[in-house]
Structure 1
Amino acid sequence: MTQRSETPSRYRWVIVAAAAGMLAIAMGQLVNGLSAFFAPLEQEFGWGRGEIAFVNTAGLIGIALGGIVMGFVADRLNVRHVILVGAGATALGMIAASRASELWQLYAIFFVAGALGGGALFAPLFAVVGGWFRTGAGLAIGIASAGQAIGQGGIPFANAILIEALGWRGALLALGLFSLVVLVPLALLIRRPEPAPAATGQTAAEAAPPVPLPRLVVLMGAAVLCCCSLMSVPLMHLVPLIQGCGIPAPQAGSVVFVMMITAIFGRVAFGRLADMIGAVPAYLAASAWQTALVFLFTRIDDLSLFYIFAPIYGFGYAGVMTGVLTTVRSLTPADRRASATGIILAFGWAGHGLGGYLGGLFFDLTGTYDLTFAVAVGAGVVNLLLVTSLFLMVTRRRRPGLPPTAVPYPAE
């Protein structure tokens, strides 16, 4: 009995693969999958691009709010049931959107799909993945997070092909049916890990949280708000910045695609780094990387230089989300992890919306992207200060003699 409970189960890699696949399909649709639908919706209904863009914003608001609620639910009920709800809501949302004829209908559909779909998948899935790994959780979370990066690059590309073949309604319907067929079976693979052996007195002492959970949520929430405000600026505004240099839209879009491909490897690499040096230092390193480099986008005006620089930036920026997830995993108890992740990541989704909006506002006011990217650097500096303070808290309260990579909750 002891041997079985202490030996890592091979099923944990099934969990990682299922989570990566679900995040690729669901988050690829809900985070930026709408980008391919701007032109056809504009042509058919005459809606402005700002009005269409708010469909995506409604989905992100849904993910933020739904993640809080569904995180609490996942901590208390069967997590597979929660994830099944997320799978079904994501798929049915796309099917319902294919029948929409009014703008408010798309707002409502994407908000519900975000709340019950993305909100029920994102935080619970990462909490489950982290719980299956008593060691090496950083690499596992990095791989699952890379699935999301694949989806954010692949789903918009697939949508463009589907729209050309089937029209925008047919594309949404096909996407919804595909999601239903794939997400539901993957959700059925998800289950909680077997409980770990009872902790000894020494282990229980080591498991005492270095930062009280309410303080951690506030500190991490503020840090994530800032780092996601920064990262949303190049994600939303790099293409128009490149176009402002006289470079056509297809080439400008290809720069972002190359950056996102590199981000896949960055998410995995920083997950492995978290296993080696600790979650908080890895988060700090990724945050410093994107803060130091992001403004340099405004100093480039040559396409070949964009192709060189964007992957360099993308590799490090991608580690930020992995750093956030591994840090939450390492500093929260298993029975509160999904709810804590949901609350903290709600600040992240808010940061994405805030940074993208302010970036456009500052450009409208100044006619250049210099202020936009400078404010992004300022948000990154604040994030660095907050993460550094968190690192100092963890360092001061760690028991003497623990190795640098030790985490407060080594077993689930």
Structure 2
Amino acid sequence: MKNRWLIAASAVGIHGSIGSVYAWSVFNLPLEQTFGWDKSAVAGTFSLAIFFLGLSAAIMGHFVERHGPRKAGLIAATFWGAGLLVAGLGTSLESIYLLWLGYGVLGGIGLGVGYITPVSTLVKWFPDRRGFATGLAIMGFGFGAMIGGPVFGYLMENFSIPATFYTAGIAYMVIMYLSALYLERPPEGWMPDNMKAAVAAGSKKVTQDLSQQTANEAVKTAPFYWLWVMMFINIACGIGVIYSASPLAQETIGLTPTEAAAVVGLMAVFNGIGRLAWATFSDTLGRPNTYIAFFVLQIALFLMLPNITSVILFQVVLFTIMTCYGGGFATLPAFIGDLFGTKQLGAIHGYILTAWAFAGLVGPQIAAYLRSVTGSYELTLYIFSGAFIVALAVSVLMKSYITKTRASMVAANA
């Protein structure tokens, strides 16, 4: 029997590697200045990667469930590593199209497969701490940029852009291969010894999932779409804030560009912290209550943000928003397990992550358009606050549904 904590460490290895995609911004200026490429062309590389992340997660979810996390992890490592190597070739040949193919398309496929691969496995290894386990892995994705960003910057400054891509491609491929080789599902119905003892003694009850559904069955239910809407709003508004954080900090509280950049760097830290903290809290609070807390908090915080003049308060509000943004991602897999079971959790997770692909396009576009029309981000933040009211209504509906369904299950088993 494999050690479940090493399984979790392997998941972090995969997510930490692909999470370096969030450090893409360090490539923007070097690529523009070195090759004379247009800003939109360079930015399109990241957009392609996120689009193919969502697309491949939806398409390959069934593959993960059918063939297991080891094969899927090896495929993710191959695509992500090869994508970075092709990106290195593209910059060596000064071809933006090869950069798009490598980092955007091949790399994006590796991102999507790698993102969903360890999650359903971890849920099965940690039946006693679903939220904590998935939060731990997905925290790795949030922190990936913290390591990747400085390393990429150092390599570009001391060597070259192609050398940076080649080095990252080989390093991440090795880390992900080693991590994937240890991944394995536990036996059906497996529980850790302390949980077995607690259940046998009657001091702990195993909470039954609301159902055990395939992905194709889940997409025919209302809760699937409620969860999709909740995620879409949380991600679109969160990405909108990430996109506009630096200019917002300069316009609202008068930070210098350097100070604003430091605030943006700290946002990544709180994004990662929120993933583990909120997902862990959800094991106690319950998943519906956790999402309700996300949305109640953010309705108030987004209304406050444009009117803050205190530097400290601005950062507290912004960083709290970031914890909710990251927490939404990390709590999602456990919520899917509660609703639809672990039968095809990876495939269902992949379908819901299409919300990420669309939100990544919508959030920044709304922020950019309204900024150009109104000259500030104030209206954008008010609109986002209104969107969270919709998300809150959906989350309350979800909680009501879960409460009624559990009551029916108890009555049926009485």
| TM tier, smaller | 0.7 to 0.9
Per-residue displacement from partner, 1:360-411 (whole Å, max 9, x unpaired)?
A: 1111111111122122222222221212211111111103696xxxxxxxxx
CA, structure 1 residues 356+114, in 2 after alignment: closer, same or farther (shift >3 Å)? farther
- Secondary structure of the residue that 1:78 maps to in structure 2? helix
Query: Which letter maps to 1:209?
Result: S
Task: Give the Cα separation in 1 of the matches to 2:19 and 2:176.
Answer: 12
Contact 2:49–2:105, Cα closer than 8 Å, also in 1: yes
How high is the TM-score relative to the length of structure 2? Answer: 0.87
Per-residue displacement from partner, 1:187-235 (whole Å, max 9, x unpaired)?
A: 111111111179xxxx999545299722232221122111111111111
1:163 maps to 2:130: no
Task: Give the Cα separation in 1 of the matches to 2:39 and 2:308.
Answer: 27
Report the equivalent of 1:235: 242
Contact 2:88–2:99, Cα closer than 8 Å, also in 1: no
Q: CA deviation at 1:308?
A: 3.9
Report the equivalent of 1:62: 52
Task: Give the Cα separation in 1 of the matches to 2:296 and 2:329.
Answer: 13
Given candidates 101, 109, 112, the residue that maps to 1:119 is 112
Superposed, which structure 2 residues align to 1:7-406 within 5 Å?
11-29=3-21, 32-100=22-90, 101-196=94-189, 206-209=208-211, 213-214=218-219, 215=221, 216-245=223-252, 246-301=254-309, 303-399=311-407
| Unaligned 5+ runs, structure 1 | 1-8, 403-412
Contact 2:26–2:152, Cα closer than 8 Å, also in 1: yes
Task: Give the Cα separation in 2 of the matches to 1:288 and 1:10.
Answer: 41
Query: Which letter maps to 1:39?
Result: L
Per-residue displacement from partner, 1:140-184 (whole Å, max 9, x unpaired)?
A: 111112111111333223222221112222211111121122111
Per-residue displacement from partner, 1:237-291 (whole Å, max 9, x unpaired)?
A: 1012123354222211211222322333322221221111212221221233233
Count residues in correspondence.
388
Task: Give the Cα separation in 1 of the matches to 2:95 and 2:2.
Answer: 48
CA RMSD of aligned residues (A): 2.5
CA, structure 1 residues 189+209, in 2 after alignment: closer, same or farther (shift >3 Å)? same
Q: CA deviation at 1:35?
A: 0.4
Query: Which letter maps to 1:184?
Result: Y
- Secondary structure of the residue that 2:183 maps to in structure 1? coil
Task: Give the Cα separation in 2 of the matches to 1:268 and 1:320.
Answer: 10
Between 356-365 and 61-70, the greater mean CA deviation after superposition: 356-365
Contact 2:155–2:164, Cα closer than 8 Å, also in 1: yes
Q: CA deviation at 1:65?
A: 0.6
Contact 2:85–2:102, Cα closer than 8 Å, also in 1: no
Task: Give the Cα separation in 2 of the matches to 1:105 and 1:161.
Answer: 23
Contact 1:223–1:387, Cα closer than 8 Å, also in 2: yes
Contact 2:89–2:98, Cα closer than 8 Å, also in 1: no
Task: Give the Cα separation in 1 of the matches to 2:170 and 2:145.
Answer: 19
Query: Which letter maps to 1:137?
Result: R
Q: CA deviation at 1:36?
A: 0.5
Between 284-293 and 306-315, the greater mean CA deviation after superposition: 306-315
- Secondary structure of the residue that 1:247 maps to in structure 2? coil
Q: CA deviation at 1:119?
A: 1.4
Report the equivalent of 1:410: none
Contact 1:242–1:301, Cα closer than 8 Å, also in 2: no
Report the equivalent of 2:196: none
Q: CA deviation at 1:344?
A: 0.3
Contact 2:79–2:106, Cα closer than 8 Å, also in 1: yes
Task: Give the Cα separation in 1 of the matches to 2:343 and 2:108.
Answer: 22
Contact 2:48–2:108, Cα closer than 8 Å, also in 1: no
Query: Which letter maps to 1:352?
Result: G
CA, structure 1 residues 218+109, in 2 after alignment: closer, same or farther (shift >3 Å)? same
Contact 1:84–1:188, Cα closer than 8 Å, also in 2: yes
Between 320-329 and 134-143, the greater mean CA deviation after superposition: 320-329
Task: Give the Cα separation in 2 of the matches to 1:391 and 1:335.
Answer: 22
- Secondary structure of the residue that 1:194 maps to in structure 2? coil
Task: Give the Cα separation in 2 of the matches to 1:379 and 1:48.
Answer: 33
CA, structure 1 residues 135+367, in 2 after alignment: closer, same or farther (shift >3 Å)? same
Query: Identity rate of aligned residues, in percent?
Result: 22
Task: Give the Cα separation in 2 of the matches to 1:187 and 1:27.
Answer: 16
Contact 2:20–2:148, Cα closer than 8 Å, also in 1: yes
Q: CA deviation at 1:301?
A: 4.5
Contact 2:19–2:140, Cα closer than 8 Å, also in 1: no
